[in-house]
Amino acid sequence: MTYKQLIAMASLTAALLSFIGAAQADSDKITNPDNNHSYQRFDTLVTWEAARTACASLSGHLATSTSATENTWINTNMASGIAVWLGGTDAAKEGTWQWLTGEAWSYQNWASGEPNNAGGGENFLMMNFPGKTAGSWNDYGGPGNNSTKTVAYLCEWDSPYTCDKDCPAPFVKNEFWTTKYGPAAANIVLSKSNFLACSSPSYALCYYSGPPSSDPNVQSLPCTVSPTDPSVADCRCPVESGASYVDINSIRNTEAYIETIRTCGITGALCKNMENEKSGTALLTAPVCDYLQASADGTPMEPKSEVISTFSTVQISGYHLGQTDCATPATYAGCMTASCTYELDANNNKTGFAQCKCPLYTGPYQVGQNRASCDAGSGYVWSAAFAPNPVQLSAPTPKNR
């Protein structure tokens, strides 16, 4: 190696050490006057996944940059030339970049030669890679160059900074990507520990809802696209009581989700769940369980909800627990923690069923029955979930009425 090469390598090494090892103080929280959103930089070096979780735990999200004006403001006032994670990813589909918030990907500011998917897999968005133009973007971190890559991160709140602590927590629908595969509405299941064990006087079981059943021995549980709101499905679901499970990745109330991951961890492993509930060890009950308890004003999960959709296997004898993989992306209803109201008969008595408003999501999915047709038929959708890796659900939970 020549002297010039040694000097060049030393300079590059110094730059990279500065990049990965800098430990500067966190920034103040500042409001952007152009959009009235507030931002704060955190200089703890973490992975993109950890940064996403950290921002969510503070009721925010990894920052998005959707215009040249916003990008300039972020770099000038918040990033200040420091490498930071932003809330963009193409982990779901290589080359198709998305914001965690669901905002349109209509602006981008890639550095020269980026994104290059180095090593065959860079999935996360970073601003200010060393040696690149200030404020420019780079794809970084992922299977091609190590998913454990760590940098500082920038959180954003979609409101001005007005409160330090003990702030009111109005209902905010959780639209964050709770996993790299999608948001809460996608009903993503990665492991049995995701299923948090709860108990409540009543819950709706939408697991078997979908097209009308041809089996005369079971009640039909139709799930149809709402005629008044094409973003949700109207699903009929039996009402049960006692033990059930909540998927930690599918909690639709932002505050409930944040409280739960703080206590249970991002996978749910620190609380009582489907995987550890029979261990005989005293385990924490997940905070989300409190959001299932109804009062005169409904449940805390969502305004005007009378009962919440969760999961159990109490109907297994009639509908049978199984799985049909639907690999071709299509629209399905993600009913976990959906808001429901009791179905009433002509005499205003409860029928034992609920009508649930389940958010619609488009992607690959699994139906919880064997040999089901992925084509639900015109106007119908399946209540479904997506498990990238097979997850074997537990044996039936005894019915507790």
d(CA 87, CA 46): 14
Per-residue pLDDT of the chain (401 residues; tens, 9 = 90+): 443 343 333 333 333 333 333 334 478 888 898 988 999 999 989 999 889 988 988 888 999 999 999 999 999 999 888 999 999 999 888 899 999 998 999 999 999 999 998 877 889 999 999 889 999 999 998 776 556 788 999 999 887 665 554 444 567 888 889 999 999 999 999 999 999 999 999 999 999 999 987 777 778 899 999 999 999 999 999 999 999 999 999 999 988 998 899 999 999 999 999 999 998 888 999 999 999 987 666 678 888 899 999 999 886 666 666 789 999 999 999 999 999 999 999 999 999 999 999 999 999 999 988 888 999 999 999 999 998 886 666 544 444 43
Q: For residue 306, give the nearest of 296, 315, 316, 314 by alpha carbon.
A: 296
Q: What angle, rounded to 10 degrees, do the helices at 254-264 and 48-57 form?
A: 120
d(CA 293, CA 356): 16
What six digits make up the tokens of 346? Answer: 């002509």
CB 199 within 8 A of CB 308: no
User: What's the whole-model pTM score?
Assistant: 0.60
